[in-house]
Amino acid sequence: MARLPYLEADQVAPEYRDMLKRNTNLHKLLVNSPDMARAFNGIGGYIRFKSKLDSRLRELAILQVGWLEKSEYEFTHHVKIGKEFGVTDADIKGLIAETAGEPSQLEPLAKAILKGAREMARELAMSEATFAEIKRELSDEHMTDLVLTIAFYCAVVRVLATMQIDNEPSYREVLQQYPIPGVK
């Protein structure tokens, strides 16, 4: 159960109700601090709709953070979002294999991005070798967007865990196909 209330549109000032158009528990909780929620939504919106980073690769990086951190909410939401942006079941199976240190059919850039996301989540930063491998394929702008995306979602999973935000039932079905080890 969440540590703060989930607010509905009639519980927030009219100028903040637009932040609840995505009817998710995350947004309903964050609007307890409406200006912070607006800033959070701004970064998330930029990542999803304005970043020039390839959307499939972006979603794979986000999914890697969610999977690695055992964030049911983040992982399940971004499985559905990722599929809207070209992520396939084979991609997700590849991510799971790569995380376990097993071979996958993912292309080298996707593998390197997943490794970079794991390093940032676990080691604080990408290694020199991983950064250089990805940088051979991406521009400075794309690298900046990638690093900030991974960092943002490392923060998001910590917000979700600390606030104990409940996953919506319609997203839990994703766990039947992709059970996260250690998540019930």
pLDDT digits (tens, 9 = 90+) for 103-147: 999 999 999 999 999 999 999 999 999 999 999 999 999 999 999
Categorise residue 56: left if φ over 0, alpha if ψ from -120 to 50, beta otherwise. Answer: alpha
Q: pLDDT at position 184, please?
A: 76
Polymer length of the chain: 184
| pTM (whole model) above 0.85 | yes
CB atoms under 10 Å from CB of 67, counted, come to 26
